[in-house]
Amino acid sequence: MSEPQLHHVVCPGASAKNAADDNAGHRMAYWQWGDAQNPHVIVCVHGLTRQGRDFDVLAGALSRHARVICPDVVGRGQSDWLKDPKGYQIPQYAADMLALLAQLHQESPITTLDWVGTSMGGLIGLAVIGTPGLPLPVPVRRLVLNDVGPALEWTALQRIGGYLGHTGRFDSLQHAADAMWAISSSFGPHTPAQWLGLSRHMVRPLHAEGGVPSALPTESAGPFTLHYDPAMAEPFRGVTEEGTAQGELALWKMYDQVAAQTLLLRGAQSDLLSAATAHAMAQRGPKARLVEFNGVGHAPTLVADEQVAAVTAFLADGPPLDPARSSRSA
């Protein structure tokens, strides 16, 4: 599989920790797969503590048909860390994606735009696609929401809050991979090679500054720590059960305003996206087509063949899917 190209976009608003000027904004990294001139662009946005290389397997498959863009959301991977942790929230992330899309469209015009969002990446997608009047280069044609919806289960948010911000110290890549598996086994079955591949881009040398590109870690080198800004836990700590319930109203409004054909993926054992919420999403708004994966919780990693096939079939050119079709299990 070929390697993606690393690029950056300067995003306005919140400043980076290493910026001398508070008005300088921050840089967001993104990984580009496929033909840079392809007018069909698919944006793949990762989960809360993850980064754009999570999509290597899926992006490799999709890049035969489209220009695939996998950003490292600010504070993660090769992107800058923010000076003010309060910026680590959906409104800033959505603004960054608009800056990214504007740059991509300027470089090579976009005529077809699709979005794949895992967990947090899906919420960012709802903010971008479900908010009328935003300056998108073209309307989003098809949306894939991976194990996320307008209603989030409070117990799952508490579980995530229990480890968020604890970036750790690891003597080797394998040590880091084992530690991540201990809190990520809900992702479902993976071979050791698959999990090591997903873990490789999740760590950085312990002494490196945030947002500074580093060499790909070897299995024996170290010490390492997780490749995200631990300060992003600060705004998360302010989340309450009452506030989460109130936020659902805004998220449902965004979801109901989505005009894109929508595919909803759900781990059948997910603790974040309930079966009731998923089925409600199939009945209202864009009336998402629901595909569930047995033996998987939150969230499918889009590495397994059946998961990749579900997304590639949905995003491939051809007759539109009927959003009223009944759900099926993979």
**pTM of the full predicted structure?**
0.92
DSSP for residue 46: -
Predicted local confidence at residue 281, as pLDDT: 98
Predicted local confidence at residue 19, as pLDDT: 79
How far is the C-alpha of 186 from the C-alpha of 243, rounded, in Å? Answer: 26
How far is the C-alpha of 308 from the C-alpha of 322, rounded, in Å? Answer: 20
Residue ranges of domains in the chain, CATH in brackets: 5-162+240-329 (3.40.50.1820)
Predicted local confidence at residue 330, as pLDDT: 41
93-104 pLDDT, tens digit each: 999 999 999 999
Quickly list H helices, the chain: 56-62, 90-107, 120-129, 154-163, 173-184, 192-200, 233-237, 241-256, 275-281, 305-315
Neighbouring CB atoms inside 10 A of 292's CB total: 20
Q: Could you state, in chain order, the average pLDDT of each consecutive group of 10 residues for the chain (330 residues)?
A: 90 88 90 97 98 98 96 97 96 98 98 98 98 97 98 95 94 94 94 95 79 49 90 93 92 98 98 98 98 97 97 77 39
